[in-house]
Structure 1
Amino acid sequence: MLNFRLRVFYSVATFSSFTRAAEEMFITQPAVTKNIKELESELGIRLFNRIANKITLTEAGRLLLHYTEHVLTLDKKFMFDLGVLKQKFAGDLKLGASTTIGQYVLPAILAQFKREQPDIELSLLNDNTQRIETALIDKLLDLGIVEGNSKNNQLKYIPFLKDEIVAVAHSSQSLFEKDEITLDELKSIPLVLREIGSGSLEVITDKLKQKDIKLKDLNVVMHLGSTESIKTFLANSNSIGLISINAVSKEIANGEFKIIDIANFEMERNFYFIHLHGVPSGFTEMFIQYALSYYNRK
């Protein structure tokens, strides 16, 4: 089992912040400071440079971080292998999901996984695809689930679930009366889209590019940071939103929203599991297989 002081050190080194480390580990900032000082005293060398409000690793700190990462990997492997022997798993798994997946796809999987594996501590960071990928590269997460494949060569992408981005209008607006529009009509209709860096916008941009249409050719009236914000906006504006079918299926079923077909144009995509290249931890692989089987059972 990894020494607690090393866990505190790893958290401070990862976040470059005593405050963030305290929040991450659910301890006080003075407790973080105390553990770091005791570790430095035990090793007889300074691990962090503290200049004004900035914290950086010393050469000794970088060396310790290198070995601590290896120990953490071994610790996770040990906990998983021990769970195999005991037929009871205990450990932690840090997940990150892009907004649509984290809000509309994962909750049911997480709830059932937790019922079956109550001693595995799950945490979920919900952010846009770009930030989830960055968090994985910075080793803040074990596994990401994102919209689209940005082909970052530091990451491995594993297909998870098919999705489609659809054009929708709210029942309170006049655009709701339309059943189909052309791509030329799409250029003039007021549109509301997700923010820069989101997987949804990346897919939309790529699909339009295949039709020789650029984002600037469209009448985009607003970029919003969540699908829920887009749905609320559409309820108060005669606009069309381009959003995941997974995010609006219930509202379509009850008649609040309607899909407006775009002639000869589809925006299908995959959701992907992503992790750093190499063999994923046992807990990571367990969750991937569980999520895949969950949707195969449906």
Structure 2
Amino acid sequence: MRLSLRQLQIFLAVADAGSTTAAADRVALSQSATSAALNELESLLGARLFDRVGKRLLMNDNGRVLLPQARQMLDAASMIEQQFVPGMPASGAGLHIGASTTIGIYLLPDILAAAYGRTGQTNPEVMIANTADIIAAVANFEIDLGLIEGPCHNVDLHVEPWILDELIVVAAPAHPLAVESGRKVPLKALREVAWLLREPGSGTREAVEHALVPHLHVLRPGGQFSNSEAIKHAAAAGLGVACLSRSVVADFITSGRLVEVPTTLPALCRNFFLIHSRRKILSQRLDAFRAFCLRWERSAGCAPP
């Protein structure tokens, strides 16, 4: 492509100023260089853009056709430059963010609203999947940054701890464990109940097994579901007991559809993580979003150890 933005800039300067002499000052060129650039543009297009009337240049019909297109192209180029100016407000435009299911449904909307929503900035494109799929997408450069709720064992990825999340045991109000109020449920009783679990590869599944199996030795499965929202509804329907993030079940506990089951288990917490490829070059926008996530705090969760 031989057409250049500089040629269009000179064309607009001549159109606004009415002569190559006056336009030269606007584009920081000599009059002869400005005139030569305009002649080169007209030769390239195979059409005169101005009628020469004495020392004045009057835009003709060809010039009037080119004028709005030239302004549009230069405005777009200016916007591109502004997006990469250091210190400019960061936009989510162009970013591809991945989040594991619990984070993507219950936390990420608030994070995006705080980062971009109040200023009218463009939001990133978001992929929501289980932790294993998000890790694979980050490793394959399909997404720029991953927010995951399970450990990442891929050595090609940079993993940094993010926030602590509290896991609690919940059941329907009519469930036998919930009916036994006034005392903590012993481990023996927890070994005998049916547990509602996420699918293998889920960060929540791995976190729950990591938290419970050392104490219960085995989890008797009562059902397997592909997202925590389904588990929450299944528990409320009385299909079994669940161990879920407090942020997932807070609304059902408030409404009385679920109750938190007090147990003799120690406090159950897990880390959420931010991940990106070690070979990834962090743009200004990407690094700004990553830094925002690290600063972001939610109102509830585990206290740092």
TM-score, normalised by the number of residues in structure 1: 0.66
Answer whether contact 2:98 2:127 (CA < 8 A) is retained.
yes
1:274–1:296 distance in 2 versus 1, CA, 3 Å: same
Secondary structure in 2 matching 1:148: coil
Output the CA distance in 1 between the equivalents of 2:269 and 2:193: 21
| Equivalent in the alignment of 1:40 | none
Cα 1:155–1:178 shift into 2, 3 Å? farther
Whether the 8 Å contact between 1:95 and 1:122 is mirrored in structure 2 is: yes
- State the alpha-carbon separation in 2 of the partners of residues 249 and 297 from structure 1: 12
Give me the whole-angstrom Cα distance separating, in 2, the residues matched to 1:280 and 1:183.
Answer: 47
In the alignment, what sits opposite 1:128? 130
Residue in structure 2 matched with residue 186 of structure 1 by the alignment: 190
One of 159, 162, 167 as aligned partner of 2:161: 159
1:220 has 2:224 as partner: no
- CA separation of 1:159 and 1:90: change in aligned 2, threshold 3 A: closer
The residue aligned with 1:241 is 242
Consecutive unaligned residues in structure 2, runs of 5 or more: 1-79, 301-305
Structure 2 equivalent of residue 282 of structure 1:
284
Partner of 2:150: 148
Shifted more, 241-250 versus 87-96: the winner is 87-96
**Distance in structure 2 (CA, Å) of the matches to 1:90 and 1:221:** 41
- One-letter code aligned to 1:203: A
Residue 110 of structure 1 is matched in structure 2 by 112
Residue identity matched to 2:254: A
Deviations 1:112-134 (A, max 9, x none): 32225544441111110000000
Distance 2:241 2:208 in 1: 14
Which structure has the larger Rg? 2
| Structure 2 SS opposite 1:269 | strand
Aligned-residue offset at 1:241: 0.8
Give the structure with the higher percent strand.
1
Deviation, structure 1 residue 167: 0.8
| Deviation for aligned residue 1:102 | 0.4
Against the structure 1 CA distance between its residues 296 and 204, is the aligned structure 2 distance closer, same or farther, given a 3 Å change threshold? closer
8 A Cα contact 2:194 2:241, kept in partner: yes
Distance 1:178 1:133 in 2: 41
- Counterpart CA distance in 2 for 1:170 and 1:210 is 25
Which one-letter code corresponds to 2:154 in the other structure? N
Percent of paired sites with the same residue: 27
Q: What is residue 269 of structure 1 aligned with on the other side?
A: 270
Q: CA RMSD in A?
A: 2.5
Deviations, residues 136-168 of structure 1 (Å, cap 9, x unaligned): 111100000000223321111112211022110
Quote the Cα distance in structure 2 between the aligned partners of 1:237 and 1:293: 39
Counterpart of 1:195? 199
Cα distance change of structure 1 residues 285 and 88 upon mapping to structure 2, 3 Å threshold: closer
State the SS of the aligned residue for 1:181: coil
Aligned to 1:207: 211
> Do the aligned residues in 1 keep the contact of 2:146 with 2:274 (CA within 8 Å)?
yes
CA distance in 2, matches of 1:138, 1:79: 28
* Alignment TM-score, normalising by the size of structure 2: 0.64
Taking a change above 3 Å as real, the CA distance of residues 254 and 80 of structure 1, as seen in their structure-2 partners, is: farther
Is residue 171 of structure 2 the alignment partner of residue 169 of structure 1? yes
Aligned to 2:38: none
Letter in 2 for 1:243: L
1:154-194 Cα offsets, whole Å, 9 max, x none, are: 11111221102211012354433234322221111111011
Shift, 1:92, TM fit:
1.1
The list of structure 1 runs, each at least 4 consecutive aligned residues, that deviate by more than 3 angstroms after superposition, is 78-81, 85-91, 116-121, 172-175, 208-212
Q: 1:248 to 1:89 in 2, by over 3 A?
A: closer
For residues 108 and 81 of structure 2, the distance between their equivalents in structure 1, rounded to whole angstroms, comes to: 24
Answer yes or no: is the 8 Å Cα contact 1:175–1:239 preserved in 2: no
**Conservation of the 8 A alpha-carbon contact between 1:89 and 1:120:** yes
